[in-house]
């Protein structure tokens, strides 16, 4: 029997490990989203800072054009309006960056000025005010000219041209510093993401060491117990046979009596053996099998992360391979012992549960038709179930089918089973010489043991059809 205390302990450990991985994943996503949003703000800030250089150049160019109306008289009105827009955008962007209050299209962007950037803005402020003051002077003189207009315009223009060159150099350094600090924050984000990934990978390794390995040892113990149970049953049966032979030699009456007793005992032993198989199969499938399946599905999520080195990737692949092997071994032992639903409810419920399980794991669609199917002899139900199971396995693994149609019907003489899939199909002629020991050969052998017939039709690209007819 499986130790309930061990089973409960392993279940608690698995839940704790899974909860830790889930919590770490959620925290990691929240942190990454926060950092990504801040990096988007940094990108916009760098863009606005870079735009300040362009606006400064446009402002100088427009001032030159406005201060030479004779040369550019036709465009004077256009440049007069243009300088207003440039001054407004240039001034508002400058103070938005400096005061960390940048708003664009109704959205507020976070400006993270370091102490160095603040000092750089302080250094550039006098140049900015000189250019801004003279630009506004030119704007006013253009709107309201006076007798000293040209002289004042030229003076303001000279002040702009003198200060703008130094302003551009200092503004370029500010843009460079913004970009440098943004890059540093990107590197910090990468390090945080790598730390979260490494910690998550470590949790999976610990989960494999402290949960998977005990489960594997427990499976080994169950198999050993089953083997010992079968050996003891065989020994007990041999002893009964020897005892029977000794009693036969004594008297005919004692022989008949012993024969009757031996039949009762044999029936009891077989019933006990079958009950033990069913119980062990149920424990393997409902307990350890479900835990291993959950472990495998969870480990698949780690594939979305990039491994830092080949050693980590190799360790992860070996862990997945070991999980898959254990799942397959558990399924093999469980189904080879006895599928409980088959003996309890019959072949129809067993097939339905089988298709439901497959559809959960694979992207499969099933269409099942059953007509007037009552409980059948155990041998026939086992045969139909195993053939259906093998056909579904072949369709999902080799034919890559996504739709399977199962038809099970009964008439006065025969039980009929038809399994159709829309997979890739294959060439029957090339497979006939390779059927020995394969799944198709096993299905054919099961049908023939019950005096039934086995027919298969398949074409490349046309799917596969399997038809079984078993006499009652």
Of 278, 305, 338, the position where a domain reaches its end is: 338
- 192 plus 273 within the same structural domain: yes
- 346 plus 326 within the same structural domain: no
Helix (H) or strand (E) holding 421: strand 414-421
**What are the per-10-residue average pLDDT scores of the chain (472 residues)?**
61 73 77 71 84 88 79 60 86 88 80 89 91 88 75 85 89 90 84 82 78 75 83 85 76 64 48 63 73 75 71 79 80 66 86 85 85 82 87 88 92 91 85 62 83 90 92 87
At 311, phi and psi to the nearest 5?
A: -65, -40
Order of strands across the sheet that contains 414-421: 365-371, 403-410, 414-421, 463-471, 453-459
In the numeric block, which tokens belong to residue 19?
């909860």
pLDDT of residue 74: 53
Collapsing DSSP to helix, strand or coil, 99 comes out as coil
Collapsing DSSP to helix, strand or coil, 370 comes out as strand
pLDDT of residue 405: 94
**Tally of CB atoms within 10 A around 352:** 16
- 437 plus 405 within the same structural domain: yes
- Measured CA to CA, the distance from residue 348 to residue 359 in angstroms comes to 17
CA 188 to chain centre: 26
What digits encode the pLDDT tens for the residues 240-276? 888 777 777 776 676 666 655 654 553 354 455 556 7
Of 322, 338, 354, the position where a domain reaches its end is: 338
The total domain count for the chain is: 2
In the numeric block, which tokens belong to residue 155?
């003076």
pLDDT of residue 126: 92
pLDDT of residue 1: 47
pLDDT of residue 2: 47
- 15 plus 63 within the same structural domain: yes
CATH number for position 449: 3.30.565.10
Tell the residue number behind the tokens 């041998």, with chain if given: 379
pLDDT of residue 188: 83
- 93 plus 77 within the same structural domain: yes
- Measured CA to CA, the distance from residue 431 to residue 57 in angstroms comes to 79
What domain range includes position 306? 1-338
Question: What is the DSSP secondary-structure string of 191-250?
Answer: HHHHHHHHHHHHHHHHHIIIIIHHHHHHHHHHHHHHHHHHHHHHHHHHHHHHHHHHHHHH
- Measured CA to CA, the distance from residue 37 to residue 296 in angstroms comes to 33
- 325 plus 418 within the same structural domain: no
- Measured CA to CA, the distance from residue 160 to residue 8 in angstroms comes to 81
- 28 plus 108 within the same structural domain: yes
Phi-psi sector, 346: left (phi>0), alpha (psi -120 to 50), beta: left
In the numeric block, which tokens belong to residue 111?
């400006």
pLDDT of residue 43: 82
- 281 plus 383 within the same structural domain: no
- 93 plus 55 within the same structural domain: yes
Residue 366: closest CA among 343, 389, 342, 398: 389
- 287 plus 413 within the same structural domain: no
Of 338, 367, 402, the position where a domain reaches its end is: 338
- 320 plus 442 within the same structural domain: no
pLDDT of residue 275: 63
pLDDT of residue 437: 44
- 322 plus 358 within the same structural domain: no
């Amino acid at each position: 029997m499986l130790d309930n205390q061990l089973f409960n302990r392993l279940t608690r450990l698995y839940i704790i490990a899974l909860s830790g991985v889930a919590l770490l994943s959620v925290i990691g996503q929240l942190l990454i989203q926060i950092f990504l949003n801040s990096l988007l703000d940094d990108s916009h800030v760098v863009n606005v800072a870079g735009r300040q250089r362009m606006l400064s150049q446009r402002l100088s160019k427009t001032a030159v054009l406005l201060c030479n109306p004779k040369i550019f008289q036709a465009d004077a009105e256009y440049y007069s309006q243009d300088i207003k827009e440039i001054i407004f955008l240039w001034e508002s962007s400058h103070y938005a960056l400096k005061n960390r209050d940048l708003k664009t299209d109704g959205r507020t962007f976070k400006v993270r000025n370091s102490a160095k950037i603040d000092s750089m803005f302080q250094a550039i402020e006098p140049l900015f005010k000189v250019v801004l003051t003279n630009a506004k002077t030119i704007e006013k003189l253009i709107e309201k000219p006076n007798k000293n207009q040209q002289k004042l315009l030229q003076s303001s223009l000279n002040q702009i041209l003198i200060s703008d060159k130094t302003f551009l150099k200092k503004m370029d350094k500010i843009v460079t510093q913004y970009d440098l600090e943004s890059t540093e924050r990107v590197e910090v984000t990468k390090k945080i993401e790598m730390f979260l990934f490494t910690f998550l990978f470590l949790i999976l390794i610990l989960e494999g060491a402290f949960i998977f390995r005990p489960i594997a040892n427990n499976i080994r113990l169950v198999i050993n117990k089953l083997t010992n149970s079968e050996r003891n049953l065989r020994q007990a049966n041999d002893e009964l046979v020897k005892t029977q032979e000794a009693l036969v030699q004594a008297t005919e009456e004692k022989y008949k009596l012993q024969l009757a007793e031996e039949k009762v005992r044999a029936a009891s032993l077989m019933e006990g053996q079958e009950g033990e198989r069913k119980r062990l199969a149920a424990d393997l499938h409902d307990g350890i099998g479900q835990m291993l399946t959950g472990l495998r599905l969870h480990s698949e999520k780690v594939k979305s992360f990039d491994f830092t080195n080949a050693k980590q990737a190799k360790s992860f692949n070996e862990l997945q391979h070991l999980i898959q092997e254990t799942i397959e071994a558990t399924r093999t032992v469980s189904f080879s012992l006895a599928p409980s639903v088959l003996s309890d409810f019959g072949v129809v419920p067993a097939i339905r549960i089988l298709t439901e399980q497959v559809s959960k794991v694979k992207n499969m669609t099933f269409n099942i038709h059953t007509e007037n199917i009552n409980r059948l002899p155990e041998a026939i139900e086992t045969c139909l179930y195993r053939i259906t199971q093998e056909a579904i396995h072949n369709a999902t693994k080799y034919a890559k089918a996504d739709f399977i149609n199962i038809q099970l019907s009964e008439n006065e003489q025969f039980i009929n089973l038809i399994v159709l899939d829309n997979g890739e199909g294959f060439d029957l002629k090339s497979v006939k010489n390779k059927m020995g020991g394969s799944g198709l050969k096993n299905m054919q052998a099961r049908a023939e043991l019950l005096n039934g017939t086995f027919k298969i039709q398949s074409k490349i690209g046309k799917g596969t059809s399997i038809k079984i007819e078993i006499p009652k």
